[in-house]
Structure formats: C-alpha cells, structure tokens
Chains A and B, each alone.
Chain A
C-alpha cells in the first residue's frame, strides 16, 4: 500500500517536471517575441529556459522534505487521513535526494545551454557571422535603442563576459556551492565524517541567495509587445538592412525578462528559517533525565521528561547532546508507552556519537548527584504512530532484528491498556514474532518480555500475549546445548516459559494456525523489517484470508523505520 503512494507521488512529481520543461521549451522555441533572440542562439535558448523553469520548481521543493517540524504539523492537521499518506511524509531524506538529483540534471542542461548561448552571442559579432546577427548585435549603441545582445563588443572573450555580469558571477558561485554540497553528501562522507557534510551543506544559504540574485541582470531578452505590433517580424527579418528606414520595420525594441525565481523559492526559504528557529527553541527547552539504565551489550536506556511532550507508540525523536557534538541530532525510536509518565529510548553504542554518549553516562550513573549533568535536547516526536494495532480483534506483530524497537512501545502500550480497560479494549489477542540472529544486544528486550510474561501470569491472563522468538544465528554448540535441555520448563536461552525456536518460522503453519483459532475475525498483521520478508507476509495475508467476507480476514500493514 505504502509503495503505491510513493510511486504515485513520484510519478506526479515527474509529471510536473516534464510539463514545465516541455511547456517552457516550446514557449521559447515558438514565441514571436524571441524570434530575434533565437536567430542568435538557436535552440540553446529554449534548453536553458526550460531547465531553468525545472530548477525553479525543484529548488522550491528541496527545502520542504527537510523541514521535519513542518511535516509534523501537516500530519497533525490531516489526523483523519489514512495513515498511508502520513507515512509518505516520512520518507523525507529519500525525496530530498531525488529532488537533488533532478537539480543536478537540470544544472548540467542549463550550464551547457548557456555555454552555447554566451559563445553564440559573442560569435554574433564575428566577421563570419550572418548579417542579420551583426545587425541585431549593433542595436543598442545609442541611448534610445534597447540592446538585444548582452555582449556589447567583439573585443572580449566569454570568460570575461561571464565574470562581468550578475548572472554569470552568481551562476558560477552557486554552481560551485552546489557541487561542493553534492560531493560532501556522498554516503561515505555522511556516514563517516558527518561534520564535513553538515558544515558544507550550509552552503545552501549562499546557493539560495545567489539563485535569487541570478536573474536580476535581466539578461534573457525578447522583443517588447509594443514593438511586436509595430515591427512585423515575419517580414522584417529578411529586410534587416532597412530597419528604421521603412515604416513597416521600425527598429525593434527589446527588454529583459523579469526575475521570477524569488517568487518560487521565497516561501520555502521562509518556512525553512522557521524550521531552524523551532529546532533552536526546542534545543533550549529543558529535558530532565529521570533514569539511566545500562544494559548488556552497550545498550543505554534513557528515561526523560519534557514539558508538553506527548507521544504515540512507534514514533521517534531526535536527540541532541551539545557536549558531544554541537550540531548533530540523531534519531531514536521511542521505547516507552504513552501511558507512562516519562519517555524513553534504548540506544546502542555503535558509532562515534552513540559511543561517546554511552561512555559519558557510564561514568555518571555511579554518582547519582551528577545524573543531570549531561545536557540533552529533544526534537519531536516524529513519525507515524502504530496505533492501528488497537483497532483489530487480533493483532499479529512481526519484527526482524532491530525492527523490534517500534514494537516495544506498542507492546508496553497494549499492556497498559489491557491492565486498565481489559474488557472494553477491542484487541483480545496479540501474537508477537521476533526473528533475529541472536538476542545479543537485545537482552533488555528479553527482560521486558519476561517481565510482561510474569505479570500476565499473575493476572491469570497468560493467553492474551503469545511470543515466538526465532533465533537464526545458532551453531552446532548451541544446538547441542539446547537439545540437552529440551525437556526443561523454561527456555534455556531467554528464560521465558515460551520456548525459543531456531531457524526461520514456517509462515504457512503460523498463519494457518492463527486463521483456524480465530474464524471470522479481522486480524491486523504489522511488520517492521526488510522488503523480501514483507512480500512473503503480504502474500500470506492474502492467501489465508477467507474468500467469504464474513470469514477470517488478514489486513497487512508495514511499518517504516
């Protein structure tokens, strides 16, 4: 479902680009006002203008996907929309990159077209140029004449001309700025040298300022409408040596096109400025860290409180720690339930930033008084909430590896709702499947499941939640060990009463069993993990849904991390 919407949006965007390009191209190829301009430049005029139009459009778009607070606001306002559209807004960075690629393409077309334009303008003075061109270039020598050819003399060269026009200077500055932004945003640089990427990307400020100024020179010139009425181009273009001497052909008057880029980009620029202000204000808001727990395998759990913070299960926040890095904000999925009085994340110390944070806190947990010394700022919550889980009678949650993290919040939330309103809650049964290589670095999650299991047993409701953990990373030693302890009551790896399985689940069996146990029910299936398994599960859902609409129906939902 979600892929469908992505595709539709992409096609729409491509469609608008194509329309703008083709429309502008034919305008400049055929409009009478540009007949004389075309005489000098040929099709290069149309190519440069068409790509410029697409550049305007894409430069408008490029700031929008990275305004995450704006996106949040939009999402909030369409609260009753189907979650598919909201999920669409979550694919920000990917869309930002796609728009950037389009800008690269059009920049190439635009620059190459203008290289030809400048060369041809200059060549219009050359002794071997056609007479019409020489005549056109000579217009503008007197103050009463308006020039067409922005290059005013033959005694120059294109490089000098570039550097002496506003369009040329801004053009080269913004192109160089753009190229630097692109080369510093390659995967290698972003992953390993984030600060280089972050700082260089701020060249966008120069880019947008230059972009707005780029058209101020009014260098694209065409015949004025008044002049078109007096000077019949179709006839006069063959009688250029009589211009000004015969009444049918007064000297043509030209004017430069008004700059329009500012109309396109000023809005998004303003919105983005607001976005940065919001982030800055958020970074000043006080976040109180109420508890820090160090889990095995370098996992840190941070429980925090912030005034006015409201979250839903499955959302994520951006965390900022000025003492570690002044500019980096890192996303973490929330692992607490909305019913709790705090919000929490579980952070694995993998990269530079997370390791630094882990070490900073490891020292601090020893001294309780210093718990608040490491200052943290929070932006968010962002992302779509997995609240659909609560709207089905039976919910099946499936996660692979780290995809389990959004489901932690969901499981906790289910637990809270069940404890409070067991009889009125729609969800009567939850199946949870977790497939991972091993539980290494997820010991905290195994503890959570154990705790849930114990509490459900105490309430006599152990059948509400059933877990199936599949470990795919076993080897012969483990297999031997497990076989030896097979008869025991508790699972030997996780300590849970429900046994761990080894290898991958047989989805046919699982779905068949669930379908048989719940005839006639609406079953929601929620998955967080890689695409190939997603296809398999989707197929299963369709296959095991009954043809009879009153029979068991599986509804497939994929969560995006």
Chain B
C-alpha cells in the first residue's frame, strides 16, 4: 500500500536497539559483571546510536512527524553530509557497532536488534532511500479570500458582479452524478 519506506521502520528499530544496548550496558556495569568493559562499550554505543537515530528523516511522500526537540540533533546529523545521508553507510556502521555487544550477555539483545536494524537499513539503501532533514515549516495559513483590511485590488471600472469570484458556490459546482437519497416509507 503506497511506497513502503523501509528507512522509517529501520529508524524505529535502530532507536529501540540503541536504548536496549544502553540498558544492557548499564546493567553490566552496575552489576560489575565479568568483562564489564564490553558493557561500558554498550553504554557508549547505545547513546551514540540513539543520538544518531533520534532525528527522523524526511519522508518521500506526505508530511513527516518530527520527534519532540529533534531540530537540534538533525542539524548535527546533517553536518556529516553523505556519511549520515547514505543508508549503506548506516547499515555498515550499525553492523560494526553491534558486534562487540555479542561478547557478554547483557548486551546480546542490543546486538541482535541492532543487527536487524542494520539489515533493514540495507534494504532501504537498495531502494535508494536517503536521510534528509525535515525543512522548517512554512506558514501556510492562506485564507480562501483576502482580508477586507487589505486595500482593494480590483478598483473600478470592474466587470459585472456575476463574473466576480464566488467561493460559496464551489461546493455545488463539482457535483459528479450526485443523486439525492430517496426514502420509501413502506
């Protein structure tokens, strides 16, 4: 249904994976597990992935919902140009980041999920999707007619009233085989 933009899902998955990697890392460090250094890595990698993935990219079609406060992060991500725009780079980056998490248990879940996110990004890259920042919203509050407080733009002599624009009648004008509903009171 419509063009599926895999990057949208990859982004959600990667963001979640970053969080899971982070939590796993915290558990490993706080619990002083064996080889806790991998857990410390998990914290760093998790935070990095979350910061990278937090700003949502612009969709090809339709309006994109921004995450709250993502403008700042989007500006930073944009700075890296093709490194962050290209999804092949992201796929490889996530795959590489995921590997060290597989060495201790607390970060294994983060590894697997980040690996899956990497695969989805690969799919998105095949489909030639790209990360683009969402532009600032233009204020599009165009009223149907101009305010009467503005000076008139059509001074006399003017054509007769019937030829002037009447927005009120538009709703009737575009009827396409409309048939009023009839009732039979049986």
A435 contacts partner chain B, Cβ-Cβ < 8 Å: no
Find out whether the CB atom of B1 lies under 8 angstroms from the CB atom of A119: no
Find out whether the CB atom of B8 lies under 8 angstroms from the CB atom of A179: no
With a cutoff of 8 Å between Cβ atoms, the chain B residues found around residue A194 in the complex are 1
Q: Which residue of A lies closest to B16 (CB)?
A: A183
Known contacts A159-B104, A439-B171; A295/B178 CB under 8 A: yes
With a cutoff of 8 Å between Cβ atoms, the chain A residues found around residue B113 in the complex are 176, 179
Distance in angstroms between the alpha carbons of A293 and B181 in the assembled complex: 10
Closest Cβ of chain B: how far from A324's Cβ, in Å? Answer: 8
Find out whether the CB atom of B147 lies under 8 angstroms from the CB atom of A476: yes
Interface residues of A in 367-384 (CB under 8 A from B): none
Distance in angstroms between the alpha carbons of A192 and B62 in the assembled complex: 9
A420 contacts partner chain B, Cβ-Cβ < 8 Å: yes
Known contacts A295-B178, A439-B171, A443-B175; A196/B9 CB under 8 A: yes
Find out whether the CB atom of A193 lies under 8 angstroms from the CB atom of B8: yes
Task: Select one of B105, B145, B166 contacting A119, CB under 8 A.
Answer: B105
- The majority secondary structure among interface residues of chain A is helix
Task: Select one of A184, A296, A325, A416 contacting B174, CB under 8 A.
Answer: A296
Distance in angstroms between the alpha carbons of A353 and B135 in the assembled complex: 28
Interface residues on A, range: 35 or more
With a cutoff of 8 Å between Cβ atoms, the chain A residues found around residue B100 in the complex are none
With a cutoff of 8 Å between Cβ atoms, the chain A residues found around residue B23 in the complex are 108, 112
Closest Cβ of chain A: how far from B165's Cβ, in Å? Answer: 8
Find out whether the CB atom of B4 lies under 8 angstroms from the CB atom of A162: no
With a cutoff of 8 Å between Cβ atoms, the chain B residues found around residue A16 in the complex are none
With a cutoff of 8 Å between Cβ atoms, the chain B residues found around residue A123 in the complex are 34
The residue in B27, B105, B167 that gathers the most chain A C-beta atoms within 10 A of its C-beta is B105
Find out whether the CB atom of A172 lies under 8 angstroms from the CB atom of B108: yes
A132 contacts partner chain B, Cβ-Cβ < 8 Å: no
Task: Select one of B168, B171, B180 contacting A451, CB under 8 A.
Answer: B180
Distance in angstroms between the alpha carbons of A296 and B65 in the assembled complex: 30
Find out whether the CB atom of A172 lies under 8 angstroms from the CB atom of B109: yes
Known contacts A115-B27, A419-B185; A193/B4 CB under 8 A: yes
With a cutoff of 8 Å between Cβ atoms, the chain A residues found around residue B8 in the complex are 188-189, 192-193
With a cutoff of 8 Å between Cβ atoms, the chain B residues found around residue A176 in the complex are 109, 112-113, 116
With a cutoff of 8 Å between Cβ atoms, the chain B residues found around residue A196 in the complex are 4, 9
Q: Give 7 nearest A-B pairs by CB, closest first.
A: A419-B185, A158-B105, A183-B12, A447-B180, A477-B145, A183-B13, A352-B2
6 A-B contacts, Cβ less than 8 Å apart? A119-B105, A159-B108, A176-B113, A183-B9, A194-B1, A294-B178
